[in-house]
């Protein structure tokens, strides 16, 4: 934990809280080794997050394309008036 505290301008309780959220989401796993609680990324869960983000990106790109088309159509109609 002290390794993380040194790299971020966050307190130890804040980092601990964030790690608990990541662990409960299944994005990291933690185990106890003596006094340490090493964390490990769970690649399978990160893959599902990446897949979801790609889907959201596709949706927004489609929305922006439709908006661009509408704006072009409105500009064209405005020129014809």
Coil, strand, or helix at residue 39? strand
- For residues 36 and 65, membership in a common domain is answered with no
User: Quick count: other Cβ atoms within 10 Å of Cβ 22?
Assistant: 17
Rg over alpha carbons for the chain, rounded to the nearest Å, is 23
Residue 76 has a pLDDT of 93
- For residues 37 and 52, membership in a common domain is answered with no
| Number of structural domains the chain divides into | 2
pLDDT tens-place string over residues 21-53: 999 999 999 888 888 888 899 988 889 889 999
- For residues 26 and 8, membership in a common domain is answered with yes
Residue 1 has a pLDDT of 58
Residue 10 has a pLDDT of 86
pLDDT tens-place string over residues 1-16: 567 777 888 888 999 9
Among 30, 26, 19, 31, residue whose Cα is nearest residue 46: 26
- For residues 47 and 34, membership in a common domain is answered with no
């Amino acid at each position: 934990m002290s390794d993380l505290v040194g790299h971020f301008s966050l307190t130890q309780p804040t980092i601990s809280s964030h790690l608990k959220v990541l662990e409960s989401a299944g994005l990291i796993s933690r185990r106890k080794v003596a006094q340490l609680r090493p964390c490990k990324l769970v690649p399978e869960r990160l893959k599902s997050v990446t897949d979801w983000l790609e889907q959201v990106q596709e949706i927004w790109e489609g929305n922006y394309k439709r908006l661009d088309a509408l704006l072009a159509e409105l500009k064209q109609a405005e020129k014809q008036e």
